[in-house]
Every structure is written in C-alpha cells, then in structure tokens.
Chain A
Amino acid sequence: MLRKTLSALIVVGAVVLVSSAGPATVIRPTRFDYTMATLPNGLQVVYLEDHSTPIVHLAMWYHVGSKDEKPGRTGFAHMFEHLMFKGSKNVRPDQHPSLITSVGGQSNASTDEDATQYWETVPAQYLPMVLWLEADRMASLDVSEEKFTTEREVVKEERRMRYDNPPYGLLPEVIFDKAFTTHPYKHQTIGSMADLEAASIDDVRAFHDTYYVPNNATAVIVGDFDTAQAKALVEQYFGPVPRGKPVPREIPQEPAHAAESRFTVTEPWPLPAVVVSYHITYDGHPDSYPLHILAKILSDGDSSRIYRSLVYEKQIALAAFGEAKLIEHPNLFYAVAIVQRGHTPEEVQAALQHELDRVKTEGVTTDELNRAKRQFARDYIFSRETDQQKALQLAHAVVIHNDIKTADGEFDLFQNVTVADVQRVARTYFTPESRMLLTFLPGAAGAGR
C-alpha cells in the first residue's frame, strides 16, 4: 500500500505551491545515489558514496526495541545495547570504543521503541576495522557475569540522571503509561528499576540469539569509499555470520479506546504541567504526512499556533509544544504546557485542547500550510548534511518503512499535502474517545501515578 501511494505521488523537480505570501516553490534537495544488496544470511546493506570529506560512517541497525520487550523485562533492549560494548570473541571488553577513539573516530549507540542502532564515524581508511568490530559482536558477543552486573548499575544511573532527578524528567513516562493500556509503547525504553534488577545473564544470551542475527540487521555505509571494495569487505566480515531463526514479532496491539480518560498526578516540580493527547496512526501511513504538517502548524517556531496563543498572546504557559509521535506502530499526538505563574492548570489545559480541536472545525490556512512545508523542507535538508545523518535516513527507511525509496520519496508526499488533508486527519484522530487529559500538580512524588 505504501509503495503504491509513493509511486502515484512522486513527482520530479520543484513542487509548485500556490500562495499569496512567501516563496512559491520549494527547491528539491539532492537525491541519494545509493546501492543496496542483501547477503545470503539476510543482512541488508546500503552503500552511499560521498567523497566530499575523507571519512566513513557505518550505521548498524537491529530491528529490536523496547516494544519487543516481554512483561517483567522492560528496559532490556537498551541495557543489552550497553552490553554490546562488553566483549566478543576477538574484542576485549570496552576495547571497541578505545579502538575507535585511537584513530580519532567517534562511536555510540542508542535504543528506541522500535530499533537499536550502533554507529561509528572514522577516517576513511578504517572502514575494515569498523566492519570487523560490528561483525565480531554480531557473531560472538561474550559478556561476563561481572561485566553484566557492573553495567546494569550504569544503566540504573542513566535512568536516575535522565528521568528521576531533573524536574519534569518523568513526564514522558507518565504520559505513555497513562495513555496506553496494552501495547508495549506503554513503557519507556529506559524501563523500570525493578525490571532492570530482575534481568539475568541468561536473558542476555537469549536476546542475542533471538534478535542479533543478520536477518534482523541492516548496515548502512556512507562516505569516502569505493562500493566494489566495500562490498568485498562486507562479504568477508559478515558473510560467515550464520542466519538466525525467524525473528518473533508477536506484539500486543492497543485496542480502540472507548472513552476519554483524565488523570491527575503529583510530582515535586516547580510549576504545574498539563497534557492533552490523542491516539494516532503509524509512521508511513498516508495520514502520517498531514499529521506531521499539522504538528508543525501547531508547534514549530514562534509563529506556530500553540506558542503564539498560549505563550506569547495569553501568556498563560511558560513553555508549550505538541508532537505527532509517528513511529512503527500507532502512537500519540500529544501537547504539553508548563503552567505560567498566576494561572491554573484547568485554564491552560482548556486552551491547549482548544488549539487542537479548532483545527477540526476551522481547518488551517494556505499560508500556514505553505509555511509548514518550507519548514519541513528546511528540516529535510538539514537532516541530510553529514554522513551520519544520511545513514540514519536510509536506515530508517529500510528498517521502519521496509522501503528504502521512502528516504527520498517522502519529500514529495509532504509537499503534496493539502489543507483538506490536514483538517481531515484532525477530524479523524482528535476524537473525544481517543483523548487523554493529564495534569501534573506540584506535590509529593508519585501520588496518582
């Protein structure tokens, strides 16, 4: 379905916008000139040559994230990501990052709900090293009990640092926990302290066997290399890694919500916060493009509706923003405001909801639409500057959309969104049944959580 929509809508060259204000056309950014191949063991590999700087970037994605976690093991996908630096057959624990920095390179990894990504950027001549390092840990990760136990403490510190200690750090955890009943998007990728503590070294081995297999992996190489030479290196290092079993994908889906939900929670934060959320669709659904545009109209920049109304004109919010969280499975459109001193949470929440709901009745203007498209084009261009950014776009298209052509094709899908599309998606998704209203009041931690 996605493929069909894409081929029907892709147009070449500049997209003409009809507008009374602002520029009339959007310059089409350069397309990616990549090649793609799949090894017999299932590893998908994308090659994109870019000779402008003598460096090379490898992005290694595994299609496993926190939505694949089992009950009682929240946070495991991310903790596992840390353990991938703790040694394999030919690489000592913690040797991976020191080899990379010893050549002036950079490397890291991250985990989200849907995927886990590892990356290295190095001077171009070190391409064999990064391929060898990634293949070795894919094939032969070997973590000791002691390293596992120490690293678990590191992950617990990461949770304390990012979520438990800063003001408003727990905001996302509470939002998604309240908004979802069933789908594992209910829990955050960092997981709970209790689940982190409950995990064992046996879980580590089983997780590696299940998900860290070439048939669940995508490698994207971008930079100053020769594709024929890189292909030979990829086959040399990754070819011998055996294919794994089919990867399980039994993820419980969120049922349709039948009625609005309301929650009030207390947290020891300086000012109250309010949230309005609606359940929406997934990334790549035809409605996802107008939803992204709608989020820009509501929340991108000082000219956006939520900022202008709540922060600038009414001055009832210290900060306010909205986001269409479009990821692999259906997620949320949510808006958050921090309540300005002298105003009530009820007043601010009502104003926030009003800004979302009035799109259903009044729609958006052509000027707003065109502005959002130019903003989108800007973001599109500036998210394709570095080798790392290019690899991220390509890997996302392969792993999340299962269609590499979306890495270029989405530009045109966005530029073809109409004001009618934007109003239609607001009417489709901003329904009372799918709505959640959440209020955070200053007070003792956790009451109502």
Chain B
Amino acid sequence: MTRRMGAAAAIIALCVGAGVAVSAQQWPKSSLPPPLPARSVAFPPYEIRTLPNGLQVVVVLHHEQPSVTFRLLIRAGAMQEPADKPGVASFVAALLNQGTSSRSAGEIADAIESAGGSLGTGSGNELSFINGVVIKDQVDLLLGLVADMVEHPAFAPDEIDRQRRQMLSSLQVSYDDPDYLADLVLDRLVFGAHPYGRPSDGTPESVGRITRDDLVNFERTWFVPNNALLAVVGDLTSDEAFAAVDRAFGTWARRNVPAVAPVDPPTPARRVIVIDRPGSAQTEIRIGQLGVPRTHPDYLAFDLAVRILGGEGANRLFGVLRTDRGLTYGASADVRAYKNAGLIVAETDTRSPATAQALRLMVDEYARLQHEPVDARELRGAQDFVSGNFPLSIETPSSIAEQVLSRLFYGQDPKELETYRDRVDRVSVADISRVTRELLKPDQLAIVLVGDASAFVGDLKTLGFGEFERIPIAQLDLNSLTLKRPPSFGPVRPGPRPALPPA
C-alpha cells in the first residue's frame, strides 16, 4: 500500500511537469533571519521534603503523560568499597533486583514488567542507584518493590554465583574493547591509588575473590535512608507523590553511617602508556590530568575553559582533528568532577597510522589553552551555548529532577540553578586565563593509546613522545599501579581465570 501510493504520487508529479532542482547560482542571496521575541524561561517548580528516617525526597510534577519516573541514589560507590576488592559496589548493584527475603529474581522481574515498568541498577565512583519508570496506576507496586530491594536483599548464594559468572565473562569481552580499556587506564594513571583510580567493575582477579560477606557488609553499611536521595517525577499531585514515598519507604530504618575521610589524589607525573592490541583498525587516544572537585570555586570557569578546548559544537579539538584533517569522527574534552577530586579528559580515535599525528595535535591544543589567552568570541560562544541551552535542559521532568538531585548530592543549594546563567555570563577572559594557568599542567599529562603499537610507535619518537611504556594487552593488570601483570601470574589472556567451575 505504502509503496503503491508512492508510485501514484510520482505519476501525478510527472503529469504536472517536473521542475528541475535550482542550482546554487540561481538561489537568491539571503542572510540569517532575526529571532522572534524571546520567551521568558525560569527553572520549573519542584518540592523537597525529608522523611523522619532521613530520606531526602524531590518531587517534580508533570501531567502530560500517564507515567511516573523515579531515581534512588545511595551515597556510596567504588569509593566506599574495600581497597583490595574493586567491584564490590557494582556487584551489589547487579544483585539488588535478583531477589529479596520474600521475592525471587523471577518474581521481581515478572511483577515490574507486568506492571509496564522497567528498572535499572548500577554504581559509580561515589554513588549507587536504582532508576525506574512505570505507568502511573502502578506506582505503589514499583516503589514497594524498590523499598524491598534496598531493605531486604537476599544475596542468595546461587544468585551470587550466577552474577559472578556473568561479570567474569563480561570483563573478558570488555578487556578486548579498546574504548573501555582506554578510559580505565587513564583513570588509573591520573588517580593512581586513590579510589577513583580503581576499576569500578572490578578485575577478573578481584571479582573471583569477592565473598557474600563483602556484599552484605557493603549493602548493610551504606544502604540506609539517611544516606539516600529519591526523586519522583510524573503525573501525580505532590501530596500523592510524598504519600506514596512514605508508604513504601517510611519504615526503612535509619542507621548511622561511617564517616569517610577524604583522600587526596597523588601528585601527577607524565606517563605515556601504549596498550598494544595488534590488528586494531583504530587507536583510542586519551589525554588527561587531575581537575577540580565539583564544589571548587573555579569549577564554572574551568568548565568553560575545557568547553573551548572540546565542548559541544565547534570546539578546538574537533576543528583541528575532524573538520580540518578528517582524522577522526569524534573529538572532545570534558571535566568530570566528583566530591574529592576531578579529572579533565580529552579523547579521540583515529586510524592506526595517524596515531602520533593526532596525539601531537591534541597535546599542542591542550598546551595552547594555557599559553595563549582565549579569544573573547570563543568564550562568548561557549557562554552562549551554556546559557542558551538552559531551556533545553529543563524540557523533561527527569532532567529537572536530575539537576536538583545532583545539587543535593554534592551539598549545594538547588537555588543556585536559578542564578546559573548569570554566573556563566559573568566569567571573563581574565578568569579563563587565571584558571588555565593555575590548573592545567600540560607537562604532567597522562597519555593512553590503545591500538596496534607496531603501526605508530616509530612515529611517537619523531613527534616528541620518546618515552613510553608498551604493554601487551594480555599483560594488562588494572589492579596494579604498574598496570603490568608479573610474567608468572595468571593466564596469557586476561579474563578466563577460573574463579568458579563452569556451570
């Protein structure tokens, strides 16, 4: 039907006499039209309440669709796991929906999915989370399940075994993924022994050693309401939303959580690591250094500076690597800021023979951001994007809730959201010069190249990167600060170290 109608339309067009597409010469000159009158825009309303047990709750109302979205954040992640057992937080997160004292994994999945819901769990450097969506008539069911998952997780031995097998096989695949490895190795180089530097999915070796007690202790210690934040968003009244949260989480018992002493990351030193993955079609490139914590007074100016290097839209790295030379599909730079410390990372990927050239261009652009004042128009461009993007960032209730949650998580006043654009607009070229001078360390960059080393190590010397460590992919050990597995340890290929008998 569809195709026949297309043919009919084509015949009609033929009958009325087909035109010919206009050439660029014939099309009239014109210039960018002026905008229409601007609309007013303000951060939408939200409400925050704290339950008697300490659970902080954010509610954002939204009535267009008959749905409810929620996000539960626990203030604990890789940072809080035992130093010698990376992977505990992600192991716990993976097991949260795999059984409680009264429901099996299958019963949980059936209940959520029959309600038209879905649910995801995970963990990061300093948080664990459960996210979900549901059609609004089933919100009690979904919140009740989530409360059961955090209050009464089963950690059944057969589920632990099943999950361990999954994690080990997943790591085997991930350890062959250059993009994954490049990110992990850069974190290790920049943060060293600091918890942010540990591989948060664990390693084949650590996942094999994690016990049920490790999981239970982590969950019991950190998964308490006074260490959690919950956002509920959607087609409810605010009283309905808070009442539903109270029904589900009101009996969750408060408990004191241990204080976590902040750890300073190590002093950085220049290090160039080549992870040799023969046969690669491209090299994954990362360069980076320590940044600032999320609450640092210069965070905003620093973020703008890094946007000039590699932020949204036309940025310097994108210009030199992609637009001018066709060396890559993507090039970007970001700041990642956590509670204790942060990271700047610039990344790209390029065909193997172009690796050294692309790296040279990146490092030079990185240094130029410090050595030359930025052009006022470039700064204006980055500011215009950030402040102009504000109305786009409040389109969905989930993104509104996410911004409020994030402020609460880092101990900031959510009211700052209302003055955000003004603060962005006040940053000057002098501010950028000051923060790049104080914070950028181009001579201490950590550099990671994951690719076919034989295609580019010769060029590295020629282009000024004479000192590098070359590590065969099979010898990579993310547990170790040397990144290298001792020759006598373990199998040749990472991953298949049998922690369990086959199923």
Contacts and interface: CB of A to CB of B under 8 A. Distances in A.
A135 B1 CA distance: 30
Contacts of A123: 38-39, 41, 388, 391-392
Interface residues of B, number: 105
A129 B35 contact: yes
A182 interface: no
Interface string B94-124: 0001000000011011101111111000000
B381 interface: yes
Interface in A109-161: 121, 123-129, 132, 136, 139-142, 149-158, 160-161
B415 interface: no
B495 interface: yes
A293 B350 CA distance: 41
Interface in A1-42: 1-3, 21-23, 25-27, 29-30, 41-42
Nearest to A132: B33
Interface string B34-69: 111111110000000000000000000000111100
Contact of B172 (A271, A284, A343, A367): A271
Contact of A303 (B6, B20, B113, B503): B113
Contact of A125 (B39, B322, B495): B39
Contacts of A315: 162, 165, 503
Contact of A132 (B1, B32, B113, B396): B32
A432 B322 CA distance: 48
A99 interface: yes
B418 interface: no
A244 B114 contact: no
B173 A161 contact: no
A268 interface: yes
Interface stretch (B132-140, B333-341, B478-486): B132-140
A385 B503 contact: no
A201 interface: no
A165 B278 CA distance: 11
B262 interface: no
Contact of A164 (B27, B112, B281, B313): B281
A435 B494 CA distance: 36
A378 B385 contact: no
Contact of A157 (B33, B279, B349): B349
Interface in A81-109: 88-90, 94, 97-106
Contact of A1 (B1, B11, B29, B351): B1
Interface string A39-54: 0011000000000111
A98 B381 contact: yes
A366 B314 CA distance: 53
Contacts of B6: 249, 402
A328 B253 CA distance: 54
Contact of A129 (B33, B109, B312, B324): B33
Contacts of B28: 89, 240
B426 interface: no
Given A125-B36, A374-B114, A89 B2 contact: no
Contact of A378 (B33, B133, B169, B390): B133
Interface residues of A, number: 119
Best-buried of A55, A103, A282, A316 by chain B (most CB within 10 Å) = A55
Contact of A158 (B39, B313, B329): B329
Contacts of B21: 139, 208-209, 212-213, 242, 244
A191 to B, nearest CB: 14
B488 to A, nearest CB: 23
B281 A160 contact: yes
B30 A90 contact: yes
A381 B135 contact: yes
A244 B22 CA distance: 9
Contacts of A212: 21
A155 B326 CA distance: 8
B265 to A, nearest CB: 30
Contact of A302 (B105, B324, B381, B388): B105
B323 interface: yes
Interface stretch (A254-262, A334-342, A349-357, A418-426): A334-342
Contacts of B502: 341-343
B282 A161 contact: yes
Given A124-B39, A245-B18, A401 B349 contact: no
B392 A42 contact: no
Contact of B326 (A151, A166, A311): A151
Contact of A340 (B27, B165, B384): B165
A381 B350 CA distance: 39
A53 B394 contact: yes
Nearest to A2: B1
B5 interface: yes
Contacts of A268: 279
A302 B109 contact: yes
A180 interface: no
Nearest to B12: A246
A270 B473 CA distance: 13
B297 interface: no
A166 B114 contact: no
Interface stretch (B176-184, B205-213, B439-447): B176-184
B10 A249 contact: yes
Contact of B20 (A141, A158, A242, A338): A242
Contacts of A244: 18-21
Given A55-B392, A101-B381, A166 B18 contact: no
A374 B115 CA distance: 6
B31 interface: yes
A375 B113 contact: yes
A247 B21 CA distance: 12
Nearest to B322: A154
A378 B135 contact: yes
Given A139-B27, A249-B6, A303 B110 contact: yes
Best-buried of B1, B14, B384, B390 by chain A (most CB within 10 Å) = B1
B395 A29 contact: no
Contact of B395 (A89, A342, A387, A401): A387
B386 interface: yes
A74 interface: no
Given A127-B36, A165-B280, A318 B170 contact: yes
Contact of A106 (B33, B168, B392, B496): B392
Contacts of B381: 98, 101-102
A125 B37 CA distance: 6
Contacts of B27: 88-90, 136, 139-140
Nearest to B323: A94
A326 interface: no
15 contacts: A97-B313, A102-B385, A103-B388, A104-B389, A104-B390, A124-B39, A125-B35, A127-B36, A140-B27, A161-B330, A243-B13, A302-B109, A341-B502, A367-B114, A378-B135
Please list the 4 inter-chain residue pairs (A to B) with the smallest Cβ-Cβ separation, ordered nearest first. Answer: A104-B388, A101-B313, A153-B326, A342-B502
Given A154-B328, A165-B280, 11 more contacts: A53-B391, A94-B314, A104-B387, A153-B327, A209-B20, A270-B175, A315-B503, A316-B503, A318-B173, A371-B114, A375-B116
